[in-house]
Amino acid sequence: MRKFLLLLFAVVIYLPSSAQHDPSFEELISLKAVRMPVISPDGEHIVFEVRAADWKDNSYDSELWISKNGGTPIPLTNNPKGSSSGPRWSPGSDWILFSSKRGERSQLHVIRSAGGEAFQVTDLKQNIRGYEWSPDGLSIGLLLSEDLDEVQKTRKDKYGAFVIEDQEFSNAKLWTLSFFPDRLTDVVLPAQLEDSSYKESQKPKIMIDSFARHITDFKWSPDGKKIAIEHRTDPLINSFFKSDISIYDVDQEKLVLLVNNASYDGFIDWSPDGNSILYSTHLDDTVSNYYKNNLIFRIDLDGTDDIQLATDIDEDIGPLRWTKSGIFGLAWQKTNRNLLRVNPVTGLSELLPHTPNRIYNFTTSVSGEHLAYYGNSDNSLTEIFLSDLAGNSRQLTSSTDQIGGWSVAQSEVIRWNSEDGTQIEGVLLKPKDFDPSRTYPLMVATHGGPTGISTPGPVQGYVYPLVQWLNKGAIALLPNYRGSAGYGEEFRSLNVRNLGVGDAWDVESGVQHLIDQGIADPEKVAAMGWSQGGYISAFLSTNSKLFSAISVGAGISNWMTYYVNTDIHPFTRQYLKATPWSDKEIYERTSPMTNIKNSSTPTLIQHGEFDKRVPTANAYELFQGLQDVGVDTKLIIYKGFGHGITKPKERLAAMWHNWQWFGKYIWDEEIEIPEKTE
């Protein structure tokens, strides 16, 4: 469901395994990652993305690889200057459509599954928001943003540059582009270039031109005669509440509204026979859908048989695919993410056997008898798998070989009771030579979300060098505080009108649990986190005396100023159940700035320059407040970034900044950041 794109950036921290080599920061950042496998409709082949750091260009490059008939994967694309991503198989499994930037803008290209050269099939100046093959493979559906360049240029020439908040946007509309595979040869003949009919065939044609709404998703029915369309009033981020679903009849050029509840309605998939659709909804709930379960329904095209499914799963379910073998989906179950199958008639679900502990996404063959997914286990990196319904799976990649010989951590899931008696889980990371009879510095890394989750795994993947701290002689705790995913709707609701306060109970009680066990040194405890984890770290900075040093990454410091500056205002209203003008007390009680005079913990603050999710005003407010009360603090702004640090060099810098800060306050070391690195 789209709501996950709206939540605060969820930083999931991975770690653990074995060996001798203590990896450098650059080595961690340089790990290649496999993701997003897409199985061919016939179930024979899999194409997926491989993401790697490009230090020279300070970027991450994604390229496509292919496994044929379950064989060893081989590269399919090579465009290091612009990446290739988002593969889509043609219905006949002979072409792969993908997005690649090989000029000023990303355009769509196709390549034969047998290999060879890629052919560019679009030449557009609009942003491409989505694309999909038609069932006959003879056209490609496109979601294109409206072209407002000329209108804006005319206004700018006369009045200069300005923007009217929440009133200026570019809706996405549905277009189709004809696909002529017989014309795709290595050489385009000059006669073709001069042929007006050839030129015209290369241009997309708009569908539903008069539809004055923003289309966010679409999919053809299995027979290609209808298109399911998810749409809303406009593309503004908070308008997702107003999403509805309509069905477009291609031959009659008629659009019929099918699902229009008061809150979010999102299209998921067609039934195999094309007579029904699957959708996600919050019905009329516009006040709690940031933390409550999404509801899954099936409905016939005539509006009847509108039935809720998977009511026996107390978690968000998604993504979902409807095949002849049933409806498949994923759901967190504590720190595992399981593959399940839902019966479209009874609505009941069953967990399916699979190899890794956590599956992050999957696709199925048309029949549903074969699946491709990517996931990881407690001691592995993410890998690509091919599986059948019986759970017979084959691992196609060997990403984990990259950390062979590395010294990483042992990990285990532990439990403790919070201040109010709520049971909390967390991941405890220990060095390989862990000795339970001695005490260790404790590094607490808190995930974002708040509906994120921390899980076991081999190496960390963001700006906190936990592997290196473990190898330096520390332990680490990754708490799944109240509000985390994986523990059900009631648990996710426990920090409503209790943000920060209840979260701090959970973190502090976890620290105290490890101190009471005699393995955490009470004089050397650190806290850190990004986004919601940064907010919790800021709250601990001004409300707790347990910590020797803290790092706040993109954290909220004052809910009042955050509320009026963020791009997701409903998030605050839903969790605090008020606006600053209707209930000032709840905004004060949950804001780190309220108790700034109690601060004494040295606090590093890290923030992206152009963060809209948690605007930089939060960083400056906390920084100034800590300075005013005499607390050692440092603010680092990463230029050109939003809510996340998305380039390798700045991630390297952020890791060094944390290493230096905690080296000073946990290990009493003065660390110089090297000017030259490997």
Contact 622, 593 (CB under 8 A): yes
What pLDDT score was predicted for residue 538? Answer: 98
pTM, two decimal places: 0.93
Looking from the CA of 563 toward its CB, the CA atoms found within 13 Å total 22
What is the three-state SS of 98-143?
A: EEEECCCCEEEEEEECCCCCCEECCCCCCCEEEEEECCCCCEEEEE
Rounded Cα distance, 613 and 624, in Å: 21
Q: How many angstroms separate the first and last alpha carbons of the chain?
A: 41
Q: Is the peptide bond before 458 cis (omega within 30 degrees of 0)?
A: no
Contact 488, 315 (CB under 8 A): yes
Nearest residue to 235 (alpha-carbon basis) of 249, 218, 250, 215: 215
Nearest residue to 503 (alpha-carbon basis) of 471, 534, 524, 472: 534
- Kindly write down the DSSP assignment for every residue of 195-259, as one continuous string: -HHHHHHTS-EESSTT--SEEEEEEE-TTSSEEEEEEES-S-GGGGGG-EEEEEETTTTEEEEEE
3-state class of 62 per DSSP? strand
Contact 261, 281 (CB under 8 A): yes
Predicted confidence (pLDDT) per residue in 174-213, tens digit = 999 999 888 776 544 444 445 555 566 678 999 988 898 9
Phi-psi region of 58 (alpha: psi -120 to 50; beta: other; left: phi over 0): left
- Kindly write down the DSSP assignment for every residue of 404-425, as one continuous string: TTB---EEEEEEEE-TTS-EEE
CATH number of 406-558+602-666: 3.40.50.1820
What pLDDT score was predicted for residue 148? Answer: 78
What pLDDT score was predicted for residue 166? Answer: 87
- Kindly write down the DSSP assignment for every residue of 590-618, as one continuous string: T-GGGGGGG--S-EEEEEETT-SSS-THH
Q: For residue 542, what are its two tokens?
A: 């001004």
Phi, psi at 604, each rounded to 5°: -90, 140
Residues of the chain with pLDDT below 50 are 1-19, 187-193
Which residue in this structure is represented by tokens 């991975």? 14
